[in-house]
Amino acid sequence: MRGTGFLLGLLAARVVYAANDWGMGDANSKLAPPHMFRPLSTPAHEISTLAIFTLAVTGAIFVIVAVLLAYSAIRFRARRTDDGSEPPQVYGSGPVEFAWTAVPVLIVFVLALTTGRTVYTIQAARRPPNALGVRVVGHQWWWEFQYPELGIVTANELHVPVSDPRDPRPTFLELESADVAHSFWVPQLAGKTDVIPNKTNVTWIEPERPGVFLGQCAEFCGTQHALMLLRVVVHPRDEWEHWVASQRAPAATDKSVENGRRVFASTACVNCHVVQGTGATGRFGPDLTHLMSRETLAAGAALNTPANLKAWLRDPNVIKPGALMPAMDLADRDLDDLVAYLETLR
């Protein structure tokens, strides 16, 4: 069981670590791999228990069948001394037919019931009044996180408070898509939930301890599906209040980066991005008001460093081929000034 979990974990880790360039390999290697057999949130515990139970049942069936098969193959193998006659043929045995029908039906019934119970336990959970509500919007190829009650909008890094079992504070997620079907999956916190255009799906997480948890879009959604990563940052309570306050603060207005600000305001950036309190009100791309509070760029494709930001602005396709953000063809000086301006958006 442990071995299987380990292999599945490795596989999931491989997918996320495919973002190895641009410093992400190092950044991710400090985190626990997204391991569904190491659950840290109520829905993930339920799913992990069900997965282990199902593996145990199907594993037992596999072992029984394999042993019987091996035994028959060896015990009844062809021998020199065989006289060529057929063994006794048995037709129409009532008890045998009953057994091979009833036993599988019973097994399927038990698996269906336990699965149904798990699905119900997770989906029927009522949202408690103190729960945090987040609207998750899937885009090609990034995640938008809106906190309507707090007036915060961010991208690709979902920040939530820890949910101490003595004082639970779950986060309820309403998932929508801006374009095609995606799927929200953070293995240690909850099962995958499809993100479907024109439909709102709901899931919830209840992280038991602070930390950073890796997730991934789990539904093929176009060329950059594999680089539609996300991080869930779980804060201790006091740190959470601090994060909320910093995200609600207005955008920085540093006078030393006037040219960068001018470049930003006079190019197409403003048609797709928001910087609160400026003329940038586009909603197509991520909100940049507090861009520098995020660890990654381009939905986890690159570490958020000045060098990577510059490479991204020069030509997003270098980091993420097919990215919907266009290359702006800026002069090198303007590019540096633009990076300097964005670096002030803390």
Question: Whole-angstrom Cα distance, residue 325 to residue 317?
Answer: 8
**In a 10 Å sphere around its CB, with 0-12 CB exposed, 13-18 middle and 19+ buried, how is residue 201 labelled?**
middle
CB of 24 to ligand CUA, least distance (A): 17
Which residue in 27, 221, 288, 323 binds ligand CUA (CB under 6 A)? 221
Question: Whole-angstrom Cα distance, residue 134 to residue 146?
Answer: 6
CB-wise, 107 or 226, nearer to ligand CUA? 226
CB-wise, 257 or 299, nearer to ligand CUA? 299
Residue 5, token pair as written in the block: 């979990």
Q: Are 19 and 229 in contact (CB under 8 A)?
A: yes
19 binds ligand CUA (CB under 6 A): no
Q: How many residues in the chain?
A: 346
- Contacts of residue 325, Cβ cutoff 8 Å, sequence gap at least 6: 272, 285, 316
CA angle at 44 for the pair 40 and 47, rounded to the nearest 5°: 145
228 binds ligand CUA (CB under 6 A): yes
Comparing C-alpha atoms, which of 38, 44, 18 is closest to residue 300?
18
Q: Which stretch binds ligand CUA (CB under 6 A): 44-52, 91-99, 109-117, 213-221?
A: 213-221
138 binds ligand CUA (CB under 6 A): yes
Which residue in 22, 34, 145, 182 binds ligand CUA (CB under 6 A)? 182
CB of 34 to ligand CUA, least distance (A): 15
What is the contact mask toward ligand CUA in residues 283 to 322, using x (rule: CB under 6 A)? ----------------------------------------
Question: Whole-angstrom Cα distance, residue 329 to residue 300?
Answer: 24
Comparing C-alpha atoms, which of 290, 279, 286, 280 is closest to residue 252?
290
CB of 183 to ligand CUA, least distance (A): 7
Q: Which stretch binds ligand CUA (CB under 6 A): 76-84, 212-220, 240-248, 258-266?
A: 212-220
Report the interface residues with ligand CUA, using CB under 6 A: 138, 141, 182, 217, 219-221, 225, 228
